[in-house]
Amino acid sequence: AQSVAQPEDQVNVAEGNPLTVKCTYSVSGNPYLFWYVQYPNRGLQFLLKYITGDNLVKGSYGFEAEFNKSQTSFHLKKPSALVSDSALYFCAVRVAGAGSYQLTFGKGTKLSVIP
Amino acid sequence: DAMVIQNPRYQVTQFGKPVTLSCSQTLNHNVMYWYQQKSSQAPKLLFHYYDKDFNNEADTPDNFQSRRPNTSFCFLDIRSPGLGDAAMYLCATSRDGPLPYEQYFGPGTRLTVT
């Protein structure tokens, strides 16, 4: 079974400060990891993904995430937060393997960027 | 340009009255998904189609069914909605290949059961 943990229900950060949204995962096998963002009453939008290779992945809107296999983590980061980054962020994992489409999401972290 | 479209955006139905939610895509992706998202919870996969092959998650209730008449359209049928089925229903699509492609989500349909 695969699972994702986002230990913080909410993260508050001042505008202009760096932000981190934490994610740890558990899978049997090699993981594919994703970050999505959800604005109120909207569907999820893809931010970035890790498949293989460089542990530092860069994505949309200036976000990046670092894959750490030893710590089974995939934390989302941004050097300088914007008020418009305020949203709900979901980490997701999918196990590598043919025919495997199930994407398991964490429960989400609400990010609030304070002006 | 809208890529994954869901209709209606808001649906109110009565307890036990069948309801159908629709999803269409302009991406020509061969995989389509339906998720249920309850308030303040993670999206939960109900089922997915790989082309016309239907794949049901083990814990998806029999009350939920789906149809995919062609590549572009997919429907979610709830045969007898209960109060516990009130949720946001998200449709998503993705390409298929040797490596995982990201999923593209529609805006969702918020279902209210009265």
Chain B residues contacting A via beta carbons under 8 Å: 4, 6, 31, 33, 40-45, 48, 50, 55, 57, 90, 92, 94, 99-100, 102-108, 110
Q: Which tokens go with B39?
A: 């308030």
For the stretch B53-76, pLDDT in tens is 998 888 899 999 999 999 999 999
Annotate B82-103 with b (16+ C-beta within 10 A) or e (fewer).
Answer: eeebbbbbbbbbbeeeeebbbb
pLDDT at A80 over 90: yes
d(Cα B50, Cα B57) in Å, to the nearest integer?
13
- With contact defined as beta carbons under 8 Å apart, do B47 and B32 qualify? no
Q: Select from B57, B100, B107 the Cβ nearest to the Cβ of A43.
A: B107
Mutate which: B102, B105, B110, vs A, most A CBs within 10 A: B102
Stretch B6-20: mean pLDDT, rounded?
A: 96
Amino acid at residue number A7 = P
d(Cα B2, Cα A109) in Å, to the nearest integer?
27
For the stretch A93-108, pLDDT in tens is 987 665 567 789 999 9
Amino acid at residue number A23 = C
d(Cα A110, Cα A87) in Å, to the nearest integer?
6
Could you give the count of Cα atoms lying within 13 Å of B28 in the half-sphere of its Cβ?
0
Q: Which of B87, B1, B77, B85 is nearest to B40 (CA)?
A: B87
For the stretch B29-38, pLDDT in tens is 999 999 999 9
> Are B48 and A42 within 8 A, CB to CB?
no
